[in-house]
Structure formats: C-alpha cells, structure tokens
C-alpha cells in the first residue's frame, strides 16, 4: 500500500464494470490535490472514467448562505477520486498508479535537491542576498509544490518542451525548466507498465465470491496439512516407542537365556507382530518394563532341590507330566494326603 494513495478493494457496480474509490491522505491539501491530478491523468491514459465526488458542507443552511457567513452548499472533494472501467483495465491502472505516484514524488524530491545545489552556488548569490534560512525553506517548499504541479500537468503529454534556465531570474521562478530537466534525466515515467502477477492478484480480489472461496480453500488446505503433520509425528513416536520396547525385551531375554542355558527351549522374542498405530485418541503413558529377577537371586548358592509344578513341566516338556505324575483314580484321590 502506497503512502500517497489508499486503494480499497474494487466492487462490481454493473455487469462487467468495477468501481474503486481512491483516497489521497496527504497532510497538505495542495499535495493531495496533485496526487488527485496524477490519478486523473493516469485514468485517461488507461481509458477509464474518473470523477471527483461531491462533498456536502455540514455547516450549510439557507440562512447561512443568504444572510449569514455565505456558506456554500458543497464542493468537489479533491482528496477522493472514483474510477470506473472493465476489470482488467482497472486492475492494470491500480497497479500502475502506485508506481507512477511514487515516481512523480521522487522527481519532485530530485528537483528540490537541484534547488539546494543552486542556492549554494555562486550564480545564486545575487538572488539570495536578502533571504534568510526560514524564507529559503519556504521557497524550497513552494518550489517543490510548483515542480510537482508542472510534472502533473505534462504527465499525459507525449513530448515535454525542454526549457532552459535564465540566470537573471531566481530558480524558484523557473520550476517548469527544472521539472523538464529532472524528467529528461530520469528518462520519463512509463504510465502503462504494470506487473502481470500483481494485476492477476488484484483481479482475484475484485470478485467477492472468488475471494471467499479462495479463503475457504486456504483454511481447509492449512487444516489438512496440519493434520497430516500431526499424524506423521504420532506414528513416528509410536515406532520409536515400539523399537525401544522390543530392544529392551530382546536384551532381557538374551541375558536370561545366557544364564539359564535354555535358549533352545522356547522361541526368542524376534517374531513380533507388525506395528499397528492406533487411532488418534488419548494414549496412556507407557508402563516401565518389569524388573526381572536375576538367576542368582532366585536360586541361592547351595540349593539342591527345586519344586517344579506340573504346569511348568507340561509347558517346558509336553508329554513328560504323564510319566512323572501317573494317573490316579478318583477313588484313590479321595484318600490322598492334602497338599
């Protein structure tokens, strides 16, 4: 957004035609008027219709106009400009407007620098003899405004007359010649050039339905990307936890097998089921692995007899339980000693 012109979103005032209400917020009314004239001249170059809105005086009344302070009913508001035209032409105009206003302001500033170099030169001694610092500042401000006005007046002209300076007159009276000099030195200002990408972006903003749909799709796309990212992070965390648990279990099994000498009796924990990531619901924290009791603590030194249950024998050696524990009839089991 330019500091010299405020450009709101254009709206469709008729089928195929769009309207934009420009605002020129310059503090000086004269400078705002110059920016208004730049926008007006540029609208003519792009083949658009421009009109200055009418501003009603809030202090007006019939009594004040006829018998009071002669208050007017209203006047043209030079701080605003209404431009109408087709969508693409209006978009190109708005993109070029910011650049042209900035370029004209830069040329006016360049002319002020020329004025500063002139007032310090020998040729200006006869003209600034009776001028002090405050009056020279006023001269510089007026000179800049005059140069800006001269640049605006010749903005739509194909050829600008190249004037020459008159050494017998002060430079603040020759603003037209200085305006021509800075214009020629800068190579002029291209009034029709506009960035195609900026024009396409502005045309997308000109249709409210397209804007709303684009915003909705952007929100949905952002939500989808965030969901995918969270799902990938969650799956990675589960894989890390599963790998850590499997590694700890394998190390504990290997240590136990090495101490018991029973590595060939039952399978090692390597044929594990594939990892299944649960749905995204609150998951309880993983419980710490159970601390395994070493063999030396379970069988102290000097142990000669170990009581093994029938279930353990059946688990480690299927079919051996029948040989160790013979079948006892139900009648005899009635009189067996209680264990």
**pLDDT digits 0-9 by tens, 191-207:** 778 788 888 888 777 76
Q: How confident is the model at residue 161 (pLDDT cuts 50, 70, 90)?
A: low
Share of the chain above pLDDT 90, in %: 0
pLDDT, position 275: 60
pLDDT at 139 over 50: yes
Q: Which ranges in the chain belong to alpha helices (H)? A: 29-45, 62-66, 87-119, 133-153, 175-186, 196-206, 208-260, 295-298, 310-316, 321-324, 330-334
186 and 253 fall within a common domain: no
pLDDT-wise least confident of 33-47, 79-93, 195-209, 219-233: 195-209
Residue 200 belongs to a domain: yes
Determine which helix (DSSP H) or strand (DSSP E) holds 287, and give its type and residue range. none
- Is a pLDDT exceeding 80 seen at residue 334? no
Q: Are residues 142 and 266 in the same domain?
A: no
Structure confidence at residue 326 (pLDDT): 61
Mean pLDDT across 132-141: 85
The answer to whether residues 217 and 245 belong to one domain is yes
Task: Kindly indicate the confidence band of residue 127, based on its pLDDT and cuts at 50, 70 and 90.
Answer: confident
Tens digits of residue pLDDT in 254-284: 777 666 665 545 444 555 566 666 666 665 6
Nearest to 235 by CA among 278, 174, 204: 278
**Do 124 and 217 reside in the same domain of the chain?**
no
Digit-coded pLDDT (tens) for 16-71: 788 888 888 888 888 888 888 888 888 888 888 888 888 877 777 766 767 767 77
pLDDT band at 156 (very low <50, low <70, confident <90, very high): low
**Residue scoring higher pLDDT (63 or 12):** 12
What is the mean pLDDT of the segment spanning 200-227? 78
Q: Can you tell me the distance from the alpha carbon of 205 to that of 252, in angstroms, rounded to the nearest whole number?
A: 65
> Which of 294 and 107 is assigned the larger pLDDT?
107
**What's the pLDDT score for residue 195?**
81
The strand pair at 80-86 and 49-51 is best described as antiparallel
Domain co-membership, 194 together with 103: yes
Shared-domain flag, residues 220 and 129: no
Q: With 60 as the cut, is the pLDDT of residue 335 above it?
A: no
Residue 335 lies in a domain: no
* Token representation of residue 91: 């978009």
Residue 339 has pLDDT above 50, yes or no: no
Least confident of 99-113, 221-235, 265-279, 321-335: 265-279
In a domain, 219, yes or no: yes
* Inside any domain, residue 36: yes
Which pLDDT score is estimated for 153? 75
Q: Are residues 156 and 280 in the same domain?
A: no
Q: Is the pLDDT of residue 162 over 60?
A: no
Does 239 score more than 60 pLDDT?
yes
The arithmetic mean of pLDDT across residues 293-313, rounded, is 70
What is the distance between the alpha carbons of residues 327 and 305, in angstroms, rounded to a whole number? 24
Co-location of 111 and 253 in the same domain: no
Q: pLDDT band at residue 140, thresholds of 50, 70 and 90?
A: confident
Examine residue 338 and state whether it is found in any structural domain, yes or no.
Answer: no
Can you say whether the dihedral through the CA atoms of 192, 193, 199, 200 is positive or negative?
A: positive
> Which of 175, 206, 237 is the C-terminal boundary of a domain?
206
On whether residue 339 sits in a domain, the answer given is no
Task: Tell me, yes or no, whether 103 and 197 share the same domain.
Answer: yes
Pair 230, 174 in one domain: no
Closest CA to 190 of 50, 42, 16: 42
Tell me which of 177, 206, 235 is where a domain ends: 206
The verdict on residue 333 lying in a domain is no
In the prediction, which pLDDT does 248 show? 80
Could you tell me the residue range of the domain that residue 147 belongs to? Answer: 11-206
For residues 181 and 99, membership in a common domain is answered with yes
| Chosen domain end from 181, 206, 231 | 206
Counting the structural domains of the chain, the total is: 2
Indicate whether 2 belongs to any domain: no
Residues 108 and 144 in one domain: yes
d(CA 187, CA 175): 18
> How high is the mean pLDDT of the chain?
76
pLDDT score for 323: 63
């Amino acid at each position: 957004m330019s500091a010299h012109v405020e450009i709101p979103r254009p709206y469709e005032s008729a089928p195929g035609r769009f309207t934009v209400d420009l605002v020129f917020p310059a503090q000086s009314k004269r400078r705002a008027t110059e920016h208004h004239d730049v926008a007006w001249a540029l609208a003519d170059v792009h083949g658009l219709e421009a009109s200055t809105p009418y501003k009603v005086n809030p202090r007006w009344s019939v009594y004040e106009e006829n018998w009071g302070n002669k208050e007017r009913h209203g006047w043209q508001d030079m701080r605003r400009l209404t431009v109408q035209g087709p969508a693409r032409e209006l978009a190109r105009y708005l993109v070029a407007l910011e650049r042209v206003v900035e370029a004209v302001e830069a040329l006016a500033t360049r002319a002020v620098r020329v004025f500063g170099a002139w007032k310090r030169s020998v040729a200006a001694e006869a003209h600034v003899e009776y001028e002090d610092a405050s009056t020279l500042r006023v001269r510089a401000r007026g000179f800049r405004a005059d140069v800006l006005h001269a640049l605006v007046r010749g903005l739509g002209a194909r050829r600008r007359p190249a004037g020459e300076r008159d050494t017998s007159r002060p430079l603040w009276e020759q603003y037209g010649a200085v305006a021509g000099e800075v214009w020629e030195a800068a190579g002029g200002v291209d009034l029709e050039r506009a960035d195609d990408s900026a024009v396409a972006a502005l045309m997308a903003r000109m249709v409210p339905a397209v804007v709303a749909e684009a915003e909705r799709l952007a929100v949905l796309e952002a939500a989808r990307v965030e969901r995918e990212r969270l799902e990938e992070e969650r799956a990675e965390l589960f894989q890390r936890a599963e790998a850590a648990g499997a590694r700890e279990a394998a190390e504990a099994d290997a240590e136990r097998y090495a101490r018991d000498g029973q590595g060939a009796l039952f399978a090692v924990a390597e044929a594990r089921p594939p990892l299944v990531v649960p749905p995204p619901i609150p998951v309880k924290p993983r419980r710490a692995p159970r601390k395994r009791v070493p063999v030396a603590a379970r069988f102290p030194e000097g142990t000669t007899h170990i009581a093994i249950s029938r279930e353990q024998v059946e688990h480690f050696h299927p079919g051996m339980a029948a040989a160790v524990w013979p079948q006892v009839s139900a009648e005899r089991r009635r009189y067996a000693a209680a264990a």
